Amino acid sequence: MRLESCVASFFLLLTLSDAAVTSRILNRLTAGSNYLTTQQLWFNQTLDHFSPYDHRQFAQRYYEFLDHFQLPNGPIFLKICGESACNGISNDYISVLAKKFGAAVVSLEHRYYGKSSPFNSLTTENLKYLSSKQALFDLAVFRQYYQESLNAKLNRSNVENPWFVFGISYPGALSAWFRLKFPHLTCGSLASSAVVLAVYNFTEFDQQIGVSAGPECKAALQEVNQLVEQKLTMNGQALKALFAAAELKIDADFLYFLADAAVIAFQYGNPDTLCSPLIQAKKNGADLVDAYATFVKDYFLGSFGISVQTYNQQHLKSTALNDDSSDRLWWFQVCTEVAYFQVAPSNDSIRSSKVDTRYHLDLCKNVFGEGIYPDVDGTNIYYGGTKIAGSKIIFTNGSQDPWRHASKQTSSTEMPSYIVTCHNCGHGTDLRGCPQAPLSPEGDAKNCSSPEAVHKVRQQIIDHIDLWLSQCQALDV
């Protein structure tokens, strides 16, 4: 985990700081204390990359980890941050890859999120520069800035280190799109659980939850939903209080909250935490609603750490800039670009049928005003969706993850795609290990039901990175 001592002192001089300065839950995980670094660095970013007249800038936060960097020509791994505050570089499997390839790791906070907000107020008007297109240009500009800064520190010019881009979930999509739009700036990309397909009515999401749950757990969840809908009409406030969600005045917000609680168990590799007590309660003739409420309070709100206000439209309407702003920000991206409306399928649904298209459209209108509508067709035309015409992009997905149906699951020579298959293989398993939350240091796969399935895909990733980096370096000779 350490470089040779003869190089260590040089890193003190090489710190590149020139200034002092998701469901609703797509990918908002933090790594607790498991960070490679939390040392904040800053640089000035262009606000609007598409205007030749607007030259405003804002301070954007980033991080660097140099412990494994092989000077001076080692690769640079760009780890993309997404739809939440980026508080450091988490210690997942990228740290293992960095050590193996002698790479520096850098990570840029997504515009508007965390401490990288261009504005002090998040009005709908001020959010007009929040988009994946602007974020991709942010990454390109940052990549050039960092390379030039490194060259200056090494007293050289016109030298390019080989770069490789990584991302999970929405950042996984950004990773794929970065290679698509800026192939000259990276040797390749790993797009883990990459949601590259914008989906208007995402019924496959709920259907995958049913498959991942298995027949017994699925039936229990469906019964819970039926009982909840009945109780909601009789004494809604008492029911919401049972789930510690009395603040959710809109019934459909409450029903979305309950649906997401189940989703998270499968999405992040903890299916038995949900299914075992539910199946047991059903066998014992116990109250299924009480059993589900215990799961929601102990796991979803407890150990996983979700706040009920994430589902409260009054909270989403708040334009104040604070630690909870990511809820409003991600919904803006949902309501303008990608949708991912997790509506109930017409048949055999697990979630309530009240979580429908109209609910989502009304939410977008209520939170952001008239005229806000997800341009799903425009997004897929611009990037290609699952027909993305890229090269040297690795796509990976976990077998139990509902988001994989918005990813590229067909493989080709130029864009290999792998499914990591196991009982608790969810969102970003190839980089996070099992479970995916809480994070296992270095993405340890020992707690996956099939560690070998993870190791096999990881070896494929290593082989592709090795090949594509060597091809990059050969071009620079």
Confidence of residue 229 (pLDDT cuts 50, 70, 90): very high
- Distance CA(16)–CA(148), nearest Å, equals 10
- Using CB atoms within 10 A of its CB, is residue 123 exposed (0-12), middle (13-18) or buried (19+)? exposed
Confidence of residue 473 (pLDDT cuts 50, 70, 90): confident
What backbone phi and psi angles, to 5 degrees, belong to 393?
-120, 125
Alpha helices in 165-202 (DSSP H): 170-181
What backbone phi and psi angles, to 5 degrees, belong to 253?
-60, -45
Task: Name residue 195's amino acid.
Answer: V
| Whole-number pLDDT of residue 2 | 30
Q: Which residues contact 46 (CB under 8 A, 6 or more apart)?
A: 55, 56, 57, 137, 138, 141
| Whole-number pLDDT of residue 335 | 98
> How many beta carbons lie within 10 A of that of residue 280, not counting itself?
12
Asked if residue 18 has pLDDT above 80, the reply is no
* Nearest residue to 466 (alpha-carbon basis) of 188, 280, 126: 188
Query: Which are the catalytic amino acids?
Result: 169, 401, 427
Residues 50-89 have pLDDT tens digits of 999 999 999 999 999 999 999 999 999 999 999 999 999 9
Asked if residue 168 has pLDDT above 80, the reply is yes
Read off the tokens for 233: 């009409």
- Distance CA(422)–CA(434), nearest Å, equals 10
> How many beta carbons lie within 10 A of that of residue 267, not counting itself?
31
Confidence of residue 24 (pLDDT cuts 50, 70, 90): low
Backbone conformation region of residue 328, classed left if phi is above 0, alpha if psi is from -120 to 50, else beta: alpha
pTM of the predicted protein model: 0.93
- Distance CA(400)–CA(213), nearest Å, equals 9
| Whole-number pLDDT of residue 10 | 33
Half-sphere exposure of 120 (CA within 13 A, CB side): 0
Residues 237-286 have pLDDT tens digits of 999 999 999 999 999 999 999 999 999 999 999 999 999 999 999 999 99
